[in-house]
A and B are shown apart, each in its own frame.
Chain A
Amino acid sequence: MSTISLPRLPMRGRDWRLVGRTLRLVLGIPAYAVFGAVIAVATLTLFVVSQNLALVGDAVVGGALPLENRVAILLELYPFLGTIYAPAVGTVLLVVSTLMGANLALAMYHVREHGLSVEGSGGSAVGLLFGALGAGCAACGSAVLAGLLSIVGATGVLTLLPLEGLEFSLLAVAMLCLSMFWLADGMRGGEIRGCPVDARR
């Protein structure tokens, strides 16, 4: 009978090597790589669109502008393609979006290929649960940032924070990294493309 224990924190180098190996194996499958990329782009798109809903509604989705203008306006909303975000903030947004894509690709693989009751999987269900919580927390952190954003100017308590609210996104990065570790840890004992997830096994 398997026991369920709370997931541990990644304290050792080999914990992160486990994450890297799991990611490499999962994202080496084209379908999951595409899925992760789609999620990453969707996450970034939701974020940048949420910052300029009126503009998107009036000029990209609605209005009577030529298609090329609509595309140009939409692209301008993204970090580094437009000028809305400072480089540091744009970088963090890209990192969060990429991690979100990778995280959900891992979770999807975990559910589809391993199921939630793989014998000897080291508590995969708990890993998935905490992975989902991590992703949710990250999304929440990003949503909070979106709502209180300092990157397009903000007010209130954000100005009291040293990074003017970027802390929320950095927290999201940390939670996504933890989430990926918990997912990978939950897949210990399983195999991906015929290779053991845990190389030491």
Chain B
Amino acid sequence: MPERPERTEPRPIEGAHDRVTEPPRRAVLAAGIGAAVGLAGCSGGGDEERSLESHPAATNLSDQPTLGPDPLDADATVIAFEDPSCTRCRAFEQETVPKIESELTDPGRGAFVFRGYPVVYDWGEPATKALEAVFDRNVDAFWALKDHYYAAQGSFGDGNVLARTESFLADETTLDAPAVIEDVEDGAYDAAVQADLDAARDADLGRTTPTVLLFKDGTYRTRAQGSVSFSLIESTLDL
């Protein structure tokens, strides 16, 4: 369990929902493929940064929800930064992740790591905290709650996210649902969410979700933004 921080004002978490839009760097860079060529040798930093073990996006990797083998031992590792409130994350979770499971993690060919990155709608932040609180208690309940957020995404909002979460946990899991919600409201998992936000910031992921980082044989290959298909992941990692 992550060290329980001293109780402080739980919201807002630094970096989440600050309603400040970054300068449109990608728009500026949209000068074309030539720009991409120029950047080709610049992405990813030095050799040290290109290893999974030392990549900023992989900070506290062992504490993250993971499917498949240990990411540090896996032939391929996919780290996905997602927001439960993001509609393209829902598409990614419902169309791509099942194929990642059947083709990659279940056969033991690779690992899939979920990192909460609540930067889209406000309700994504308490939802991500609830996910952290549930993961700390029961891994299976974590995956179930994550699936529930995406399956019923349209029904969540600022006003009902914690109530609906409590209801789901009480009905579908053996967890002490009120205790989970109390922890979320008390800010007990703010630090865990902040760690994910810090990892995204240190990896210079911008504020786009989903962002998927791809590693092969413990080495960073690239990142992809948007609800990319398993076919794209397969081609990129040459699986």
Contact = CB atoms under 8 A, between A and B. Distances in A.
B226 A151 contact: yes
B231 A76 contact: yes
Given A83-B95, A84-B228, A53 B35 contact: yes
B43 interface: yes
B30 A58 contact: no
A174 interface: no
Interface in A32-71: 45-47, 49-63, 65-66, 69
Nearest to A70: B235
Contacts of A156: 19-21, 207
B221 A58 contact: yes
A5 B89 CA distance: 50
Contacts of B7: none
Contacts of B221: 58-59, 63
A148 interface: yes
B41 A62 contact: yes
B126 to A, nearest CB: 16
Interface in A11-25: none
Nearest to B121: A159
A63 B41 CA distance: 9
A160 B17 CA distance: 12
Given A46-B30, A53-B29, A147-B27, A157 B21 contact: yes
- Contact residues on A (Cβ < 8 Å of other chain), bracket: 35 or more
Contacts of A59: 221-222, 235-236
Nearest to B204: A54
Contacts of B35: 53
B32 A46 contact: yes
B76 to A, nearest CB: 14
Top 4 A-B pairs, shortest CB-CB distance: A147-B24, A147-B27, A50-B30, A58-B222
Interface of B: 17, 19-21, 23-33, 35-37, 39-44, 83, 86-89, 91, 95-96, 119-121, 207-210, 221-229, 231-232, 235-236, 238
10 contacts: A49-B30, A52-B224, A52-B225, A57-B36, A57-B37, A61-B36, A72-B232, A143-B27, A156-B21, A156-B207
Interface of A: 45-47, 49-63, 65-66, 69, 72-73, 76, 82-86, 143-144, 146-149, 151-159, 164
